[in-house]
Structure 1
Amino acid sequence: MAHPFTAHLEQEEQLEERAYSIVTWRLVPFLCLCFVIAFLDRVNIAFAKLQMVSELGWSEQVYGFGAGIFFLAYFVCEVPSNLIMHRVGARRWIARIMISWAVLTGLMAFVHTTTAFYVVRFLIGAAEAGFFPGIILYLTYWYPARRRSRVIATFMTAIPIAGVSGGILSGWILSTFHGLAGLSGWQWLFVMESVPSLIVGIVALFYLDDSIRNAKWLDDEARSRLIANIEAESQTKQTVSLPAALRRPAVWLLALAYFGSAMGQYGFGFWLPSIIKHMGVASTLNVGLLSAIPYAFGIVAMLAVGRSADRSGEHRWHYLVPCAAAALGLAVAALYSGQQLVSLAALTVACMGLQCLAPVFWRIPTSLLGGVAAAAGIALINSIGNLAGFVSPYMIGWIVDHSGSANVALYVIAAFLLLSAGIVFGLPRNAGRDRLSNIGPTQ
């Protein structure tokens, strides 16, 4: 017979698990759907490029600049966007983000000059700015740090899911609708893939709740448990002022580390279809199908590593090993670019490593700050890191134009991944477990 105290603890754990299970089933699938759509709209330019660049007579460098200028707007607008969300609430702000980028994505179908291409891509970046860091901040309102890696990993399966579904869907649209009603396949791609953003954005306005206290679908017992956990954790966070948060060296180190991982993520995402096409795959449908393979394996790797990181409480090795695997995969893909099977296998290993990085990484800064400082700090790290979304595709485009191959660029991206791993591994051992109170000033 179990000891009464032990039985009480087990009952308390079961009640807490039940409460978080309700929250997870209510929020995470919907947020994951939002992110699938967001990432699909962000990188569909990679598939449109298969027809768009040659049809409009653009160079690889023009494409790289247009793909990347999205992230310059991201950089400018992310911190203000997260601060606004912290003030007005996630429900209205996330809905606004999705609806505005849906409209602008649809306008991409009617771009025919490089100037229009750059302007619309910049506006899409401004519209979407704040979505990802806003969701990361939103999850801190519901989950304590000890549960966050697994939840973020589940949420971020949206990236490989978008890679799988986006590759298949985009390849099908390009090959099936090309020429219909006088529009090219790449134009139909933008029109058709903007519709889900519009619909889900409107639904978000009615479906999401700004906080635990606003959630009418929670019973009183579950609500009180969740609030108690968040309030207890808030006592351990650095609720410093916004200027003090932005002066902390840890925030800037994490931004640099995230920049390194984002170099890999966006370089891979924006150029994978082109790399596969250069391997000798001619059909756009087959390019889409083959592009789905690395992301399918990435889903499994992301969930496994996120779960392992939460169970062990160790995050440095859980970041270092995937970083090294991604760097090795990119290097091997470049080295054996002429061998389709070997190159695709190496790209799959690279994708598996890349998908594991963000869920483990975001466990660290979300443990660092609270309140308005968290809103700004998370957005700052994400916005600086996402400058890689401009640097990476533009760099690859420049290298391809001047060398005829993306191999050198893959080596450079591998080096950035190793730099990112070195920064995270150099952080204190308790960085992902508690807070970075011993890195930089707290006043």
Structure 2
Amino acid sequence: MNTHPHNVAAGTGIVESADAVYRRIAWRFLPLLFACYVVAYLDRVNVGFARLQMLNDLQFSEAVYGLGAGMFFVGYFFFEVPSNLLLHRLGARRWIARIMITWAVLSMCTAWVSTPLHFYIVRFLLGIAEAGFYPGMLLYLTYWFPSHRRGRMVALLTAGNPVSGIIGGPLSGYIMTATAGLAGMQGWQWLFILEALPGILLGVMVYRRLDDKVAHATWLTVEERSQVQFDLDIDSKTRTHGSVSQVFGSGRVWLLALILFGIIMGSYALSFWQPTIIKGTGIKSPALIGLMTTIPYTAALIAMLLIGRSADKRRERRWHVIVPGLFAAGGFVLCANTAGSAMLSMLGLTMVAVGIVSALPMFWALPTSFLGGAGAAAGIALINSTANLAGFVSPTVIGWLKGQTGTLSSGLYLVAGSLTLSAFLIWAFIPARVVNH
């Protein structure tokens, strides 16, 4: 029988007290982690905007751009699991701060690349520097929130993706237009420099603000720390994968990595090629292209919150990943058949953004439900790093196909197929009893 003093009176003011404690924890960490995620995602994909100018300036081909954009994920893949294990061992405060500062410096260095080799090396090192960041934040949330409270926290954190798109599009377009020729540098160079600076500042704030574990939270009372730790201990008893060896030998973990791979194929096709798709409709101004990218991401942010609420209300996750994934696939098919129509292109891009941004937080409700301890550190990182190889495959293959065919259509069909396959794998192999909780 549960005899903890903070849990015996469900339905009374004691539950309200627990809610208040978790609200304090959320307000303490989540705004900072959210800001970090927005800046991280912006630094990862701003190469898609820089492409509008840097290809001509540096005489890079589409294949060079696609390979360079994707090299980030090669470094990311090899260092993701070690990075998350180091975070688990050394503490989130030091490790997340290290990640942010080093990736910001390397992102800034992209401004001075001059050859394809320079471009490949910087992007590869940037992937190494950022490895472990997003799964590290997911892992960090497991240190503070039991599973029944963590879904909303993950959704709020993942909202940084569409918010980054809403902020990043107009900001990137403005920087590239307003700074062109300043101090003898091009707008795309200033883009990498200026958008890297917040990462350094936030890295310092992370080091000063985060607590590695509940026991270190002196801003909570002894009773509150005891309450949170008790909840986490109870929650940990439902974990079936608590060791690194269990994770690497788990067919379920590898299946989830394959499913996420298909979703990530779509995510980075949108991030890296959305400006190009919009430009293909006849719009040339980087500032206007940046403004137009806010439309899909604004719709995606609203849809993500509504779909997350629907999933929590129905306690259902499976179809809340399948349906958005298929919706995004339909958006890519539409984009491949717009024939330069700005209206149809924006409709297709909006469908893509709504589907992908809504599916991602629903997907992460699954692995965090059965991974615990060091197994959570390794499992989340393994799923994320393996799936993020799609970030290499997606721009590389699409760039090569565009160079061969002169159009993005074949690449967009490929991505639509990968999203459809992920939806099928969930439907066929992930039982509802595992996902819905």
Normalising by structure 2, what TM-score? 0.96
Identity fraction in percent: 47
Q: CA deviation at 1:87?
A: 0.2
Structure 1 residue identity aligned to 2:31: P
Separation in 2, partners of 1:396, 1:317:
29
The 3 A distance-change label for structure 1 pair 214 and 7 is: closer
SS in 1 for 2:435: coil
What per-residue deviation string (whole Å, max 9, x for no partner) do you get for residues 292-318 of structure 1? 111111111112222222232210011
SS in 1 for 2:283: coil
Match of residue 49 from structure 2: 47
Match of residue 432 from structure 1: 435
- Gapped runs of 5+ residues in structure 1? 435-443
Contact in 1 for aligned 2:318/2:436 (Cα 8 Å): no
What per-residue deviation string (whole Å, max 9, x for no partner) do you get for residues 37-93 of structure 1? 000000010011100011111101100000000000010000000000000010000
Q: Is residue 2:249 matched to residue 1:265?
A: no
Q: CA deviation at 1:376?
A: 0.6
Contact in 2 for aligned 1:255/1:381 (Cα 8 Å): yes
Name which of 366, 369, 374 aligns with 1:367.
369
The 3 A distance-change label for structure 1 pair 8 and 36 is: closer
Match of residue 441 from structure 1: none
Match of residue 415 from structure 1: 417
Equivalent pairs, count: 430
Separation in 2, partners of 1:250, 1:400:
35
Contact in 1 for aligned 2:332/2:412 (Cα 8 Å): yes
Name which of 165, 183, 207 aligns with 2:209.
207
Contact in 2 for aligned 1:174/1:284 (Cα 8 Å): yes
Name the stretch that deviates more: 31-40 or 214-223: 214-223
Separation in 2, partners of 1:232, 1:19:
17
SS in 2 for 1:9: coil
Separation in 2, partners of 1:40, 1:75:
19
Q: Is residue 2:30 matched to residue 1:24?
A: no
Match of residue 329 from structure 1: 331
Q: Is residue 2:218 matched to residue 1:216?
A: yes
In the TM superposition, what are the counterparts of 1:143-292 in structure 2 within 5 Å? 143-292=145-294
Name which of 405, 408, 429 aligns with 1:406.
408
Normalising by structure 1, what TM-score? 0.95
Contact in 2 for aligned 1:75/1:387 (Cα 8 Å): yes
What per-residue deviation string (whole Å, max 9, x for no partner) do you get for residues 207-240 of structure 1? 1111122112222333222111111010110244
Separation in 2, partners of 1:227, 1:305:
30
- Gapped runs of 5+ residues in structure 2? 1-6
SS in 1 for 2:336: helix
Contact in 2 for aligned 1:147/1:310 (Cα 8 Å): no
What per-residue deviation string (whole Å, max 9, x for no partner) do you get for residues 116-163 of structure 1? 100011000000000011001111111111222221111011111111
- What's the C-alpha RMSD, in Å, of the aligned pairs? 1.4
Match of residue 108 from structure 1: 110
Separation in 1, partners of 2:320, 2:390:
22
Q: CA deviation at 1:346?
A: 1.7
Contact in 1 for aligned 2:328/2:416 (Cα 8 Å): yes
Contact in 1 for aligned 2:242/2:376 (Cα 8 Å): no
